[in-house]
Amino acid sequence: MNEIKFEKTTLSKKLKTMIGVDFRRLFTSPLFYIMMGIALIMPILILVMTEMMDGMVTVDPNGNETIIKGFDNVWQIIGSKSDAQGAGGGLDMMTMCNINLLYFALAVIVCLFVTDDFRCGYVKNLFTVRSSKCDYVISKTLIGFFSGACMIILFFAGSMLGGAISGVGFDMDGVVGSQIFMSLMAKIFLMIVFSSIFVLMSVIAKQRAWLALVGSLGIGMLLFMMIPVISPLDAGAIHVILSLVGGVVFGVGMGAISTTVLRKTSLI
């Protein structure tokens, strides 16, 4: 009979294999490509449709007339300036119909991705060969962050295309290119915060995707108004640092809670 040897598995090796599996799954999942397509097409549709409706007048049952106002420039779909009413203010079109919608799209990706593991029993394969729940949470949070970052980049590309198609101007309106870049970076780092929250909701819900989605979208709504404040269009380095630090702190905190949930509850 052969002697049984147990190879020492290092933390980095375990994490690497887990991330490798998750990325392979992500890239073979139709959901990923659908969501990326939505991120690309959404700004084009928003810009073209709002431009078509620009100047139209609607009349409510009381006879009050409202003039629909489209975007003044393409950058408004990326974010609003910190001194604008939309940033931290009311829920106007500029605040609602912009890049920040992607945080809800991220909830769909993360919740379906994680709950699928529980629904089809894949967690059985995963946790019988490694008991580290921490690897799992880190890997899923990174997948969420990566997907979120990809969506933001694609949304930006879609905005450029949408601007060109709809004829909405590219004038900077007091904002410089580096600020837009900083704003995008801040939004990307904010994805860590949302990704870690959505992972937590999903590991709590386990195979119940609907529960994970309802919980994630609910918490997403609560935090939605924070996004334009932390990542305004005229963002500076401080906004990027704030998002990064916040993302890491939130990621570690939520990750620890998610790991505890996995450790303390039955996996199937």
Partner 1 sequence: MNAIEIRNLTKSFGEKQAVCGLNMTVPMGAIYGFIGENGSGKSTTEKMICGLIHPSSGEIKLYGRDYTDNDVRSRVGVLIEAPGCFPNQSVWNNLILQATNLGIKDAKKEVIKALKMVRMEGAASNKYKNCSLGMKQRIGIAMALLGEPALLILDEPINGLDADGMRIMREVLTDITKNYGCTVVISSHILGELEKIATHYGIIRHGRMIREMSATELENSCPTYVALKARDMSRAKALLNLKYSRVIEADGYLRVYDAGSSEEIVTYLYENNILVSEIMTDKISLEEYYIDLMNEKGGDR
Determine the size of the site formed for partner 1 (CB under 8 A): 36
Smaller CB distance to partner 1: residue 66 or 131?
131
Q: Which of 58, 66, 85, 125 binds partner 1 (CB under 8 A)?
A: 125
Is 33 a residue that touches partner 1 (CB under 8 A)? no
> Are 28 and 143 in contact, with CB atoms under 8 Å apart?
no
Smaller CB distance to partner 1: residue 21 or 214?
21
Smaller CB distance to partner 1: residue 3 or 83?
3
Is 123 a residue that touches partner 1 (CB under 8 A)? yes
Smallest distance, partner 1 to C-beta of residue 22, A: 9
Q: Which of 55, 90, 124, 174 binds partner 1 (CB under 8 A)?
A: 124
Smaller CB distance to partner 1: residue 49 or 261?
261
Q: How far apart are CA 107 and CA 220, in angstroms?
A: 8
Smaller CB distance to partner 1: residue 111 or 184?
111
Give how far Cα 154 sits from Cα of 43, 176, 179, 226, Å.
Answer: 9, 21, 18, 22
Smallest distance, partner 1 to C-beta of residue 201, A: 21
**173 three-class SS:** coil
Q: Which of 47, 108, 127, 187 binds partner 1 (CB under 8 A)?
A: 127
Q: How far apart are CA 228 and CA 82, in angstroms?
A: 8
Is 54 a residue that touches partner 1 (CB under 8 A)? no
Is 58 a residue that touches partner 1 (CB under 8 A)? no
Q: How far apart are CA 259 and CA 211, in angstroms?
A: 19
- Binding to partner 1 in span 130-149, by CB under 8 A: 130-132
Q: Which residue has the tokens 């939004």?
A: 187
Crossing angle between the packed helical segments 133-166 and 11-27, to the nearest 10 degrees: 40
> Are 162 and 74 in contact, with CB atoms under 8 Å apart?
yes
With residue 67 as reference, give the H or E element that holds it. Answer: strand 65-67
Q: Which of 61, 65, 128, 167 binds partner 1 (CB under 8 A)?
A: 128
- Binding to partner 1 in span 248-267, by CB under 8 A: 264, 266-267
Smallest distance, partner 1 to C-beta of residue 142, A: 16
Question: Which residues contact partner 1 by CB under 8 A?
Answer: 1-4, 6-9, 13-14, 17-18, 20-21, 24-25, 28, 30, 116, 120-132, 264, 266-268
